[in-house]
Chain A
Amino acid sequence: MSQLNGHHEKLLQRYLDGQCSPEEVAELYAWLRTSEAHRPLLAAMQQEFEQVMQQPQQVPAALSDRVEARLMQDISRKKVRPLFSRYRVAAAAVILLAMAGGFWWLASVSRTAQQSLPAKEIAAVHKDNDVAPGTSKAMLTLADGSTVTLDSAGNQVIQQGKTLVQQSNGQLQYAAKGKGEAIGYNTLTVPRGGQFNIVLPDGSHVWLNAASTLRFPTAFTGKQRVVELQGQGYFEIKKDVARPFIVKVNTTEVQVLGTRFDIMAYDDEKSLNTTLLEGAVRMKQGLIQQQLAPGQQAVLDYNSGRMSVRAVDVDEVVAWKTGFFEFDNAAISVIMRQLSRWYDVEVSYLNNNSNRLFGGRISRNLPLSEILHMLEANGAKFNLEGRRLMVTVEN
């Protein structure tokens, strides 16, 4: 087991053991505010956990009972319906879906086999009227206003002045040749039912989700690297301390040095969410700004204009980028907005006064019917006509 070395690490150890003077606590907290403390703190957190777990611990019975009573009330009140609960039981279906696109709880197949549903029953639903999942497609608007259609199978090279743009399948790569180039702006537009990713001239990599656009210069020449986003994008930014990277969404700015993060800024959502996976970013709206630590999400509520920060499950936020839908305690409307963009269907509700919540994870490469079927097993009903999807949620 690694010991904590160094001045601050020792201070942290004394703090954990309850031996710090007030001055030392102040010093420690000042250090903890810096990003430099991040790694040692996490190391200490792991080490402490192992140590604490090794021996039996005692806490006041009053405390134990208090928390237990709260938990019991919480879990009996809040009935979260797992999206795919019936599917976990349907072993045959699980295997089918696992082959179709990677399924989360493959591991649970054997122990639930006794209650399996026939796979045919599932396959039959919506077969005559189904919607295929989205694909890699986009449209690139060049500086001169001309457009190039990009699809998943395309391979082409586009020359714009001294900038070479290479498309290989679902990816676009920019390479600036030489300097002194007058910069022009390009726009990558991903339609509903599409996704695309792009390597910018500085080597930064951006994945765009369905119904999203990114506007960017063909070369980053100034003191800042500025791009404009609508919709949802996942960014992996090349570190360049001298030239901060800025993502603009309307009047909101996300400022970055070098990092991985996701911005979700759809007009039909309730808020603009910036989620940090690694590094540091700052979200700015007028005079308000919030700095994020990894695992945190800044939420700018469109209605109130308020910005708040919360801890989130980052895997869930960027599931789309890795080819999954993932939800945790999500209302049906949240799920339907994502489905609507990816399958390019128009959603309307017959009744949506249920506060039923859904959770689960499933591949985005499945036809729409498969996803709907899972929701149907958990109290939602659908009627799909062409690309119009009617939703009913039972209470």
Chain B
Amino acid sequence: MPPGEEVLLRMIEGDESAFTSIYRHYHPALYIYVLRFCKIPDLSEDLVHDVFLKIWEIRDRIDPSLPFTGYLYRIARNHAFKTIKKLAQDEGLQEEVLEHLAASGSGLPEQVVREKEYDRLFREALGRLGPQRLNVFRLCRQEGKSYDEAAAILGISRNAVKKHMVLSMRFIHDYIYRHGDLLLACCLLLKIF
């Protein structure tokens, strides 16, 4: 189910948790879309990031009565268009494209291992979050509550919820980066935040 108009309205008003639910719903398709044109996974991942950041930045101009996918399309297309033009110009990038095209046929088992390892490390990292932070994480991330809802349930401020979320996501990534095996480390190496 795509996020309803209510979620869209909350995002337009600047609610970060609504933005996150919109991100979660649309990003897989968006990633697949830009990857089809750009072929390089890291590049496509950056594009997905850029597209959603742009959505957030222009949220004030979004008309909730129009289909949200229209906005997504316009922005994603512009980003992907620009990138594919760049690929066509840049020889270095073209070599990368060819590498990824050659590898894409055989990449599946590796992907599965990576995913399993990632899940294991993710659960380990969760176990190391403080109890309150874990509560916040469970409510927002696993039960899909908005920051406001989570704040009400836990009797803490919305700002505190937000801070817990930012810090827990960051902690989990640092943890996986530090403890992941070589394969995973390679996969994460390019993105340290």
Contact = CB atoms under 8 A, between A and B. Distances in A.
Interface of A: 16, 18, 20, 22, 25-26, 29-30, 32-33, 41-42, 45-46, 48-49, 52-53, 56-76, 80, 82, 84-85, 88, 104-105, 107, 111, 293, 295-296, 311, 328-329, 359-361
Contacts of A25: 94, 97-98, 101
B166 interface: yes
- Chain A interface main SS type: helix
A243 B166 CA distance: 58
B29 A57 contact: yes
A22 B36 CA distance: 16
Contacts of B57: 80, 328-329, 359
Interface stretch (B44-52, B127-135, B149-157): B44-52
Given A16-B36, A72-B165, A60 B118 contact: yes
Nearest to A37: B88
Interface of B: 9, 16, 19-20, 23-24, 27-29, 31-33, 36-37, 39, 41, 45, 48-49, 52-53, 56-58, 60-61, 63-65, 69, 73, 76-82, 84-85, 87-89, 94, 97-98, 101, 104-105, 111, 114-115, 118-119, 122, 162, 165-166, 169-170, 172-173, 176, 184, 187-188, 191, 193
B44 to A, nearest CB: 9
- Among B73, B79, B81, B184, chain A packs the most CB atoms within 10 A around the CB of B81
Contacts of B56: 71, 74-75
Contacts of B32: 52, 57, 59
A25 B29 CA distance: 24
B60 A295 contact: no
Given A53-B33, A65-B169, 12 more contacts: A22-B98, A32-B87, A41-B84, A52-B32, A63-B45, A68-B20, A68-B169, A70-B49, A72-B16, A72-B169, A74-B53, A359-B60
Nearest to B80: A45
Contacts of A361: 61
A318 to B, nearest CB: 16
A28 to B, nearest CB: 8
Given A22-B98, A32-B88, A46 B73 contact: yes
A377 to B, nearest CB: 14
A-B CB proximity, top 9 nearest = A69-B169, A32-B88, A29-B88, A57-B28, A57-B29, A52-B33, A82-B60, A57-B32, A59-B28
B49 A64 contact: no
Contacts of B162: 76
Contacts of B69: 53
A293 B85 contact: yes
Given A29-B94, A296-B82, A66 B45 contact: yes
A381 B81 CA distance: 41
Contacts of B45: 63, 66-67
Given A60-B114, A80-B57, A66 B97 contact: no
A60 B166 CA distance: 20
B16 A75 contact: yes
Contact of B122 (A46, A61, A82, A329): A61
Contact of B172 (A48, A65, A104): A65
Contact of B53 (A16, A57, A63, A71): A71
A164 to B, nearest CB: 43
A13 to B, nearest CB: 10
Contacts of B20: 68, 71-72
A72 B31 contact: no
Given A69-B193, A73-B193, A62 B165 contact: no
8 contacts: A22-B98, A32-B87, A33-B85, A42-B81, A48-B36, A62-B184, A71-B53, A85-B60
